[in-house]
Amino acid sequence: KKLGIALVGLGGYAEHQLAPALKETQHCYLAGIVTGTPSKIDRWKSEYNIPDKNVYSYENFDQIANNPDIDAVYIVLPNGLHAEYTIRAAKARKHVICEKPMATSVADAQRMLDACRENNVQLTIGYRLHFEPHNKRVMELGQKQVFGKVQSIEARNGFNITGSNPNVWRLDKKLAGGGPLMDMGVYCVQGACYTLGQTPVAVTAKFGEVTHKTHFAEVEQSIDWQMEFADGVIADCSSSYAEGQGLLAGKAANGWWRLSPAYSYSGLQGETSKGKMNYPQVYEQALQMDAQALSFKNKQKLPISGEMGLRDVKILMAIYESARNNGKRVTIS
Ligand code: NAD
């Protein structure tokens, strides 16, 4: 049986990536929707064949507990709402896929983990690049030391938001938790960690200059940071909301690699010191949700666990603490 997934929040990512991917998945399908915008309901119902009884609002969301069609919910809301809806889903005894970044504070991420543990449901994060072949190759090159010991990592990710309306949740501190670091920089944090298969021991960071004051009244415009790993490897990273960038590169004793674009839904390009990478285009979100659905079904814990989401929130918060304190070295517990 395919598992039934309910999407919570029908914004850009849910509409243009996740829902279409759920037409391709083998182990799960789009069974329900949770939305605060009634005008969206008819179109989604007919496009995805969703019965009335599987349509929820944010107010009656908790009644999803009584719906056997829904096995798991996928939280695709602004970052600051991930905790509330993950905890409500856990109490409704549904497995949870939560979008990145898992939460806007360490305390929230911990509460989410606790709620899922107490209610005996699984929690996993929408880290789609774990299923993407170029990024999987980087994990292998770094973790298996294919070119010898890794010496340094470089990771950059950003896009230009300054052409858009400044009244979007991504620029609202409470809803986003921060600026490009939370949204795009989390991919660099992930990239450095999965290159090495390790968690950093300390970070240093610096906010960039604000040149677009109307957009960046609450959150940073850009940020540079370094992650220090136990064996001395440094990952040099940056993230921006004023510049498009997407890079994950590594240098090892006997070779190097470089992905750019590194984090996109399609069109990734990779090269190593041995030549161009040649991997097929995959449907990242479909592979991700199928793997997560199988782990729910078989009660197996995925490598992309809620604990990994919590670890990353700890790193993001340490980066902000360093940036607020003039680049002070902040250790990660
Ligand atoms: P979006 O702005 O397109 O959609 C957000 C949705 O949340 C909208 O439907 C909006 O109506 C709803 N919403 C409910 N309460 C809201 C409130 N109080 N304020 C604002 N909106 C509210 O955003 P998105 O790009 O779909 O991002 C949603 C989540 O998905 C974020 O956590 C984001 O980081 C994540 N995301 C992940 C990826 C990925 O590749 N994994 C890509 C894009 C977004």
Give the distance (Å) from ligand 1 centre to CA of residue 119.
Answer: 26
Q: What is the pLDDT of residues 292-302, one digit of tens each?
A: 999 999 999 88
How far apart are the C-alpha atoms of 210 and 306, rounded to whole Å? 33
User: Of all protein residues, whose CA lies closest to atom 31 belonging to ligand 1?
Assistant: 78
* 10-58 residue pLDDT tens: 999 999 999 999 999 999 999 999 999 999 999 999 999 999 999 999 9
In the annotation, is 320 catalytic? no
29 is catalytic: no
- Look up the CATH superfamily of 133-279+303-331: Dihydrodipicolinate Reductase; domain 2 (3.30.360.10)
CATH number corresponding to 3-128: 3.40.50.720
* Active-site pick, 29, 74, 100, 194: 100
Domain segments of the chain: what residues?
Answer: 3-128, 133-279+303-331
Report the C-alpha gap between 94 and 296 in whole angstroms.
Answer: 10
* Distance (Å) from CA 184 to ligand 1 centroid: 14
The per-residue pLDDT for range 305-326, each reduced to its tens digit, is 999 999 999 999 999 999 999 9
Instruction: Report mean pLDDT in 10-residue bins for the chain, 333 residues.
Output: 98 98 98 98 98 98 98 98 98 98 98 98 98 98 98 98 96 98 99 98 98 97 98 97 97 98 97 97 97 95 92 98 98 94
ipTM over 0.90: yes
208 lines ligand 1 (CB under 6 A): no
Whether 128 is in the pocket of ligand 1, judged by its Cβ within 6 Å, is yes
